[in-house]
Structure 1
Amino acid sequence: MTDKTSEPTNLDLTLLANFVHQVVNPLNGVAGTLDNLADNIIEGEDRRLQRLNAARAQLEQCITLVRNLAFLAQGSGGVADHRRKIVLPQVIIESAMFFQEDGKSKEIEINLLDRVTQNTIKGHPELIRQVLMNIFDNFIKYGKRSLPVEVNQRIQRSTGMALIEITGHSAYPVDQEDLQQIGTLGFRGKNAKKLVASGSGLGMYICRKIIGDAGGSLHIEAGAQGKVLFLIKLPTGD
C-alpha cells in the first residue's frame, strides 16, 4: 500500500524543476568558457581574465542555490551549532564580493555606506552570509541597470537590535499585493517573472526562516519608481 504522504507534491516538483534549471544554466556557461579557453578561442589576457571571473561568478551562483537547497533539506545547511562573533561590515563586504562580476555587466554596484563602524552580533556567519547573498542576488537579477544597491548597518538605540538596510531599484516595480507573499515557499513576484521566467522561489523563504530562527525580522518595502528596501533586524546576542 502506497503511503501518500511520501508522494511528491506539485510544489515539490516545481521547485525541483526550477532548481535544476537554475543550476544547469550557469554550469553550461562555465563549461562553454572552459572549452573556449582550452581551444584558445578567447584572445587577449584581459578578455580571458574577464571570462574566468564571469565563470567564477556563475559557479558562486550555483553554490548559493545548492546552499539554499541544503538549508531547506537539513534545516540549517549543515552549519556548526555554536554561535560566533560576526562583524557586520566584514560579512556584508564578503557577501557582496560574490556579485562583483555580474554587477559590473549590469552596472549595478553594491556599496556599503559605513565600513568603519565595526558593529557585531553573535550567530552563524554562514547563515547571515547566505541571507545577504540571496538578497544581493535578487538585486543583481532583477535590479535596474546603472543604479547602485546601498547597504547600511547600525545598532538601533531604542531596541539594541542590529539593523541592516539594503536599498535598490527593481527594473519593474514590485506589486504591492506581492509584498505580503514574498518569503512564502515557492512564491515569485510578478516583477521577477517578467525578467526571469523561471526561479526556485527558495531564496526569500530561506532568508525569512534564517532571520526568524535567529530571533529577528525581515521587513520589505516597495516604493515609487521601483525602489525596494530590505530591512533586517537581528539581536546582537550581548
Structure 2
Amino acid sequence: MLPPKDLKSIIYKAKLPEMVVAWMFWCVALSVALIALFTDGVVETSGISLIMFVFGLFFSYKSYKLATKNLDKNISYGRLESIVTNLEDAVIAYDNNFKILLFNSSAERIFKLTKPQVVGQIIGPERASEPTLRLLTQTLFPSLAPAVVTQSEPDQFPQIVDITFTNPQKEIRVSTDRIIDKDGVLLGFVKVVKDRTREIQLIKSKSDFISVAAHQLRTPLTAINWTLEGLSRNEKLNEADRTLAQNGFTAATNLLKTVNDLLNTTEIEEGRFGYEHKTMDFIKFIEEILANAQVVAKKYGLKLYFDKGGYEKLEVNIDASKLGIALSNLLDNGMKYNSKEGSVTVALRPVKDKPYVQVSVKDTGVGISPSEIENIFGKFFRASNARKIKADGSGLGLYITKNIIEQHGGSIWVESTLGRGTTFYFTLPTDPNLIPKAEMRFI
C-alpha cells in the first residue's frame, strides 16, 4: 500500500490540467464498453474497447509524466521568482524590442516606479525625455547617462558599467547579460542593478579624511625633511650629531613617501590622478630614471643595467611624471630586496605582431613566495620576507604602479623564484589610440 504522502501526491497530480486528455480517453473507453453490453457485435466492440484501454493507459502515463514535469517547472519558477523578487539588487529583463518582461521590487524602489507602470512597456531611448522614466531609460541605455565608467572589456559579457546621476544624486553599478535559449538564439537581456549611493558616500568620506590628513602632514614633513637634510650636511656639527640628523632625515623621507602614496592612492581610486600624456623618447626617459636611482644603487652596492633591446629611439605617449613613479617603485623594490653585490636590469623588447613595447625590471634578490604572488599588487600588501628585511613600508607602491600602467593602456605581471630573484614585466602601447581616454574609478 502506498504511503499517505505519495497517495496525496498522485491524487493532486491527477487533478492537474495536463491529465484532461487521459480522463477524456477513459470516458470514451467506458462509453464504448457500456454500449458493448447492450448491442450486438460484442467481439468487435470489445476489440475496440481493448485498443482504447491500451491507448488510455498510454495517454494516462504520458499525461502524468507531463503533469509531473510541468509541476516541477512551476515549483522551480516559483522559487526563482521568489528569490528574484526578494533580491536587494534590482533585476530588469527585456526582450530584443526593449519590452520589459521582469521588474522586481528592488527595481521599483531604486527607480521609483511600480511593476504595472513598466512591465509590458517598450522603453526606447526616446523615453528618456519622460521625467518618470528618465533614470530607467538611462540605465537601459548608459550612453544617455550623464557620467559612465565602463568596468568590463568591449563585446564581453556580462557588460559592467558604473553610472553616476546628479538629479537625483545616485550611484549605481549595472551588470548586463544576454538571455539565450538552448539553441543559442538571443531572446533578450537581463540587467542587475546595484545601488551604490550609500557605499560610495562612505568610501568618499574615508578618502576625504585620508586626503585632508595627508595634505596637512605633507607641508610640515617637507619642512622637517629639508631641515634635517641641511643638518646632516652641516660640517660644523660633529659626526654623532650629523649621524643623528641623517637618521631623522631618512625617517622623515620614508614618512613623506607614505603620505604621498596615500594621496596618490586616493586620487587614483577617485579617478582624479590627472594624467597628461605627451610623446617622448622612451629610451631617454628610462636613462634619466636610472641615473636618479644610481645614488641608492651605490648605497646598496648594486649594479644597474639597461638593455635597450636594439632600440636607438622609441617614441611613446606617456605621462612622464606618473610613469616615473611606477618605474621608480619597481627599481626601488629591486634594490631594497636584493642580495649583496646584486644587480637590477631594465630591458626593452618589442611585443610580436602588436603595437606594444615590453619593459622588464629584473633583480637578483630574495624573490617572492608562490603563495603570495597573486596578492602582490593588492593594496597595503607586503610579502612576508619583505617585511622581515624592511619593517617599514606602506604596501601601496605596487598597487599604484599597476594602476598607472593600466591607465597607460598596458598590463603588468610578475615572475619570481624564491631566493633567486624577481622580474616585473609591463607593456605600453606604441599606438596612442590604445591609451584610455578617461581615468578609471575604483570606488
Instruction: Name the TM tier (shorter chain).
Output: 0.7 to 0.9
Q: Is the 8 A contact 1:87 1:118 kept in 2?
A: yes
Match of 1:193 among 365, 368, 387: 387
Are 1:141 and 2:336 matched, yes or no?
yes
Q: Is the 8 A contact 1:70 1:78 kept in 2?
A: no
Q: Is the 8 A contact 2:369 2:417 kept in 1?
A: no
- Cα 1:237/1:181, change in 2 over 3 Å: same
TM-fit CA distance, 1:187: 0.5
Give the aligned residue type for 1:121.
V
TM-fit CA distance, 1:36: 4.4
Q: Which residue of 1 aligns with 2:313?
A: 118
Are 1:38 and 2:38 matched, yes or no?
no
Deviations 1:28-78 (A, max 9, x none): 7864452243352379xxxx9xxxxx9999998777555533321222544
Are 1:68 and 2:68 matched, yes or no?
no
TM-fit CA distance, 1:117: 2.0
- Cα 1:29/1:214, change in 2 over 3 Å: closer
TM-fit CA distance, 1:151: 0.9
Are 1:177 and 2:374 matched, yes or no?
no
Q: Which residue of 1 aligns with 2:13?
A: none
Give the aligned residue type for 1:157.
K
5+ unaligned residues in a row in structure 2: which ranges? 1-198, 433-443
Alpha-carbon distance in 2 for matches of 1:122, 1:36: 40
Deviations 1:85-111 (A, max 9, x none): 132221212222232222101111221
Match of 1:211 among 405, 409, 424: 405
- Cα 1:208/1:191, change in 2 over 3 Å: same
Q: Is the 8 A contact 2:334 2:362 kept in 1?
A: no
- Cα 1:66/1:77, change in 2 over 3 Å: farther
For 1:69-88, what aligned pairs fall within 5 Å after superposition? 69-75=262-268, 76-80=272-276, 83-88=277-282
Q: Which residue of 1 aligns with 2:286?
A: 92
Q: Is the 8 A contact 1:127 1:210 kept in 2?
A: yes
For 1:9-28, what aligned pairs fall within 5 Å after superposition? none
Q: Is the 8 A contact 2:225 2:253 kept in 1?
A: no
Are 1:168 and 2:363 matched, yes or no?
yes
Q: Is the 8 A contact 1:89 1:153 kept in 2?
A: no
- Which structure exhibits the higher relative contact order, with contacts defined as CA atoms closer than 8 Å and separated by 6 or more residues? 1
Deviations 1:162-181 (A, max 9, x none): 111111122x3311111100
Alpha-carbon distance in 1 for matches of 2:312, 2:238: 43
| Secondary structure in structure 1 of the residue aligned to 2:333 | helix
Alpha-carbon distance in 2 for matches of 1:106, 1:68: 23
Alpha-carbon distance in 1 for matches of 2:305, 2:234: 35
TM-fit CA distance, 1:79: 3.9
Deviations 1:121-157 (A, max 9, x none): 2121222111101111111221212111011113223
Alpha-carbon distance in 2 for matches of 1:42, 1:163: 49
- Cα 1:151/1:42, change in 2 over 3 Å: farther
| Secondary structure in structure 1 of the residue aligned to 2:233 | helix
- Cα 1:65/1:136, change in 2 over 3 Å: farther
Alpha-carbon distance in 1 for matches of 2:401, 2:232: 37
TM-score by length of 2: 0.42
Percent sequence identity over matched residues?
A: 20
- Cα 1:42/1:70, change in 2 over 3 Å: same
| Secondary structure in structure 2 of the residue aligned to 1:228 | strand
Q: CA RMSD in A?
A: 3.8
TM-score by length of 1: 0.74
